Structure 1
Amino acid sequence: QLLETFFQKKKAPGIDARGIVSPHAGYVYSGETSACAFSTIPPDFDGTLVVIGPSHRGYMTCASAVPWETPLGIVDVDTKFVDALDIDIDEVSHRNEHSIEVQMPIIKYRFPRARVAPVMMGDQRYEAATSLAERLLRAIGHTGRNVRIVASSDFSHYVPGETARRQDLYAIDALTTLDVPEFYRRLQETGATACGYGPIAAMCIVCRSLGAERGELLRYTTSGDVTGDFNQVVGYAAIAVV
């Protein structure tokens, strides 16, 4: 019912995004923002959703090859695509990480026929994002899959609301032109603590290689919009790459 409410509030924006940024906090905080991002992919999409999430516990980059259980049912993994990625499989690490798990019920609700390729990203440096993007592009070419890419990320963590908004929107502005090096530069300049900057970068690189031209910020909120406490907030953004 909660997911239904979120999506009912979001009218389809009339675009078919190649990739999105979706937050991964509790649904009460960021669920509506996630729905805003996922609503840019048509609900009849039945291809493969590559879900890239950051490792919050320091695990190495790894994929998952087993089905994911959600309260709404099983989300199947596209094992052929995962195999084509040629990335280590580590189910134990995935069980201890929430950044991908949070996306799965939304995916099951919105795209009941889609499959997923979950990738947890440990090293998030620019070089690692480029390397992962190259693997994804090879896998797309090898399998011929119809793919959309979900980058799971929150933005600034535990800073005043005005600081979060200023830092986050400055970094996000670089994504409007898919300028990944500039995105990294702005994060470093401001010290913004986006936890999934590597997944965002890899997603943008792949989408740009597949013909995407721009990123669109659809919605920006913070935890303070829910709690009323803006002294220390976490930032959430819905971004579509088209």
Structure 2
Amino acid sequence: MEKVRRASHAGSWYTDNSKRLAEELDGWLREAGLPKSPEVRGVIAPHAGYSYSGRAAAYAFGNIDPTSISRVFLLGPSHHYYTPKCALSTATVYKTPIGDLPLDLEVIEELKATGKFELMDICVDEAEHSMEMHLPYLAKVFEGHLIKIVPILVGAVNAENEAMYGRLFAKYVDDPSNFFSVSSDFCHWGSRFNYMHYDKKHGVIHKSIEALDKMGMDIIETGDPDAFKKYLLEYDNTICGRHPISVFLHMLGNCSTKIKIKFLRYEQSSQCKTKRDSSVSYASAAAKVDA
């Protein structure tokens, strides 16, 4: 029986007008002007409302060559629901205004059988935006290609379990028909986020935020999950997809394909100049087979 996850953020976080949405995404992808590469096996992309991060996200999704991919693992952080584990969707199809994406029930059953996952209720699924914001881009990029998705809600997973999930998913990375879409925004700065780290040596506040984010991005590019963990402990940077990114780094460290992450775009929602200001950072990366 079909069980639908509605596009619950369409009409608010992005337009629910299918024609306008398709044009918007096409425009951003064209603007990014990136060559599609079959070597790109994963992306890290933001998940804010499209008026904020849609343009930045195109620098991740624009790299995808859809021809040989048949399955997309989608890893997103949990904003509203607490779990110390990863959770699997109970839906059979994810709706988007520009086409529906069926879930890979076979792989979900396989993951369920490990006993390492919990199941998320459809209400939890629909309340979460971190994976939904990747769906229209995936529907657009894979238009005309049959793909199935495996959504994974990554909870407040401890370091030991990040490594465990990374090992568990590693075998899927070695199959070139699998793709990984990792959802994360970067620094959330300002009193409303309870985070106001400011190193004056960088000049104005937004430059300090950029330096902090770039330091994290450089560490992610090394592929070292322990160094990333150390960075987070030291600076407590409010990267909301820290757990999905960590799991992804462990996956890449445990698979036999050599894959390297490279960041291609960095933006901020606004440029903070005073302590009354606030901003969220967006970074887009491609994970590419490193010959």
Q: Structure 1 length normalisation: TM-score?
A: 0.90
Deviating beyond 6 angstroms after TM superposition, the runs of 4 or more aligned structure 1 residues are none
124, 145, 156: which one aligns with 2:157: 124
Match of 1:223 in 2: 269
Amino acid at match of 2:284: A
Q: 2-side partners of 1:93 and 1:170: how far apart?
A: 33
Match of 2:80 in 1: 57
- 1:175-190 correspondence runs (5 A): 175-190=220-235
Structure 2: runs of 5 or more not aligned: 1-22, 191-204
- Deviation of residue 127 (structure 1)? 1.8
Q: Note if 1:19 corresponds to 2:42.
A: yes
- Deviation of residue 63 (structure 1)? 1.0
- Deviation of residue 198 (structure 1)? 0.8
Q: 2-side partners of 1:94 and 1:187: how far apart?
A: 27
Q: 2-side partners of 1:202 and 1:81: how far apart?
A: 18
Match of 2:194 in 1: none
Q: 2-side partners of 1:165 and 1:35: how far apart?
A: 20
- Deviation of residue 210 (structure 1)? 4.0
Q: 2-side partners of 1:28 and 1:232: how far apart?
A: 17
Q: 1:37 to 1:130 in 2, by over 3 A?
A: same
Q: Which structure is larger by alpha-carbon Rg, 1 or 2?
A: 2
Equivalent pairs, count: 237
Q: 1:176 to 1:54 in 2, by over 3 A?
A: same
Q: Note if 1:102 corresponds to 2:128.
A: no
- 1:24-43 correspondence runs (5 A): 24-43=47-66
- Deviation of residue 145 (structure 1)? 7.4
Q: Structure 2 length normalisation: TM-score?
A: 0.75
- 1:188-199 correspondence runs (5 A): 188-199=233-244
Structure 1: runs of 5 or more not aligned: none
* Structure 1 residues 42-81: Cα deviation after superposition (integer angstroms, max 9, x where no partner): 1335411100000011332211142001101211111111
Q: 2-side partners of 1:136 and 1:176: how far apart?
A: 19
3-state SS in 1 of match to 2:130: coil
* Structure 1 residues 136-195: Cα deviation after superposition (integer angstroms, max 9, x where no partner): 235668xx6721111100010024422321111111111111011101111221121000
